Amino acid sequence: MKTRKAIKLNQTDGVKEPISVVLATPTLLTGGAEKFVAELAVRFDPAKFRITVLVTRGQVQQSQLEELHNAGIEVKTIGGRSRTQSILQSALELVRLKPKVVHTNIGSLLHVSLGVLFLPKSTVRLHTLHSMAGHAEPGVRLGASKRLMRLLKFTPVSISRAVRESASSAFEIPESNIPLVPNGVDFGRFAQAPEGQQRASDTTRFVAVGSLLPVKQHGDLITAFSKMQPDLHAKSRLTIVGGGPLHEQLEQQIDDLGLSKYVTLLGNRADVPDILKTQHVFVSASRTEGFPLSLLEGLAAGLPAAVTAVDGVNDIVRDGVEGILVPPGDIKVMTEAMERMAVDHSLQERLSEQASQRAAAFSWERCIESYSALYTGSGCER
């Protein structure tokens, strides 16, 4: 497994020891927010920041855990069976670690809430918002998150303009008080094809990457693919990478449509970069996205996109430049976009070149610089 390199920033004169940071996440699986935590943790300069990843609900993917350990990152997994146990054990860890920075992600805000009360008021407290307000915290949980951020004085950090707008409205915070820090992408890791491996040219290979959850609407993708013109359909393939509770349902849909030869569910995979390098077009029918890291990785691999124009997607893909934007829920237009990609190879090539250039603009260096500024209290560009 390839080890990420820490990003060296200019060391501030007088700093004698690294700043202690707790980077919290409920789980460490294959979702975008979890991947963000793992990628972020290994990229900080260890001479300046000492990172501890706190997994507050105990579920981890072994490959993520190994990569963090190989990078010298301490990972503390809380094995509580209940929310109360997670809160109590997280509090004990925060008291033990005495971090200068607590950086929460998704549901870990609640889990660290008690422990933060025992930390000095000077502790920097950040909460990264990975999705539209109300999606990750529906109903009463949205109100609870709002109260916790105010009570514990957490600064919300947004990954896209759409997420920042929704957070400003939901949490009643001016947009100017919500730093905007887009996710980064390891451009070299995704753009550099394995030796001797080339994309096949006789078939158009569509790929989707994302958890098999209702919001991702993989069923719409499968339906759109099934409605392609017969001659194009016969020369196309759809691969879906990701695991989740809808696996059996999607398998049944594939069987019912007679698509077993053409559509493949790969499940969770650790070799996503290599998979992307064998594909032609990145597709997504998602109904909501904060700032999809998988889409950014697809662009970095040189894949033009046929994706629904939702939320943070619009911060990444420009219609007709890096891909084709489709109205959410419009299966007919998605089918037309896929057919257009399959027919017009010159369009594929033009969008592919633009896709690579676009991805290069979202570097981990810039992301790390922004979070380093927030961790040290100097702020970042908003």
Residue 1 in this model has a pLDDT that exceeds 50? no
Q: In this structure, what DSSP letter does residue 319 have?
A: B
What is this structure's pTM? 0.83
Q: What is the CATH number of domain 19-184+363-375?
A: 3.40.50.2000
Would you tell me how many other CB atoms lie within 10 Å of the CB of residue 314?
Answer: 16
CA–CA distance, 252 with 242 (Å, rounded to integer): 16
pLDDT of residue 141: 72
CA–CA distance, 348 with 342 (Å, rounded to integer): 8
Beta-strand (E) ranges in 49-175? 49-55, 74-77, 101-105, 124-129, 155-158
CA–CA distance, 311 with 319 (Å, rounded to integer): 14
Residue at 173: amino acid letter: I
Question: Using an 8 Å Cβ cutoff, are 101 and 378 in contact?
Answer: no
Q: How confident is the model at residue 340 (pLDDT cuts 50, 70, 90)?
A: very high
Residue with tokens 């887009």: 182
pLDDT of residue 196: 45
Residue at 103: amino acid letter: H
pLDDT of residue 191: 78
Backbone angles phi, psi at 176, to 5 degrees: -65, -15
Rounded alpha-carbon distances, angstroms, from residue 109 to 125, 284, 350, 355: 10, 29, 43, 35
Angle, vertex CA 206, rays to CA 189 and CA 199, nearest 5:
55
CA–CA distance, 214 with 220 (Å, rounded to integer): 10
Q: How far is CA 131 from the centre of its chain?
A: 10
Rounded alpha-carbon distances, angstroms, from residue 297 to 100, 113, 191: 32, 33, 9
Residue with tokens 């993708």: 221
pLDDT tens digits, residue range 60-103? 888 889 999 999 999 999 976 788 999 999 999 999 999 999 99
pLDDT of residue 195: 47
Residue with tokens 């030869």: 261
Q: What is the mean pLDDT of the chain?
A: 90
Of 7-16, 32-41, 73-82, 283-292, least confident by mean pLDDT is 7-16
Angle, vertex CA 84, rays to CA 37 and CA 66, nearest 5:
30
Q: How far is CA 278 from the centre of its chain?
A: 21
Question: Using an 8 Å Cβ cutoff, are 53 and 85 in contact?
Answer: no
CA–CA distance, 42 with 259 (Å, rounded to integer): 41
* CA atoms in the 13 A half-sphere facing the CB of 358: 27
Break the chain into its structural domains and give their ranges: 19-184+363-375, 187-360
CA–CA distance, 200 with 281 (Å, rounded to integer): 12
Question: Using an 8 Å Cβ cutoff, are 184 and 364 in contact?
Answer: yes
- Partner residues linked to 49 by β-bridges: 19
Six-digit token string for 322: 């890096």
Residue 156 in this model has a pLDDT that exceeds 50? yes
Sign of CA dihedral 220, 223, 227, 228: positive
Backbone angles phi, psi at 313, to 5 degrees: -60, -35
Of 9, 6, 2, the closest CA to residue 73 belongs to: 6
pLDDT of residue 143: 81
Q: What is the CATH number of domain 187-360?
A: 3.40.50.2000
pLDDT of residue 13: 53
SS3 246: coil
Residue 371 in this model has a pLDDT that exceeds 70? yes
Q: Which helix (H) or strand (E) holds 25?
A: strand 19-25
Of 381, 352, 348, the closest CA to residue 367 belongs to: 381
Residue at 159: amino acid letter: I
CA–CA distance, 7 with 51 (Å, rounded to integer): 14
**Domains 19-184+363-375 and 187-360 in one fold:** yes
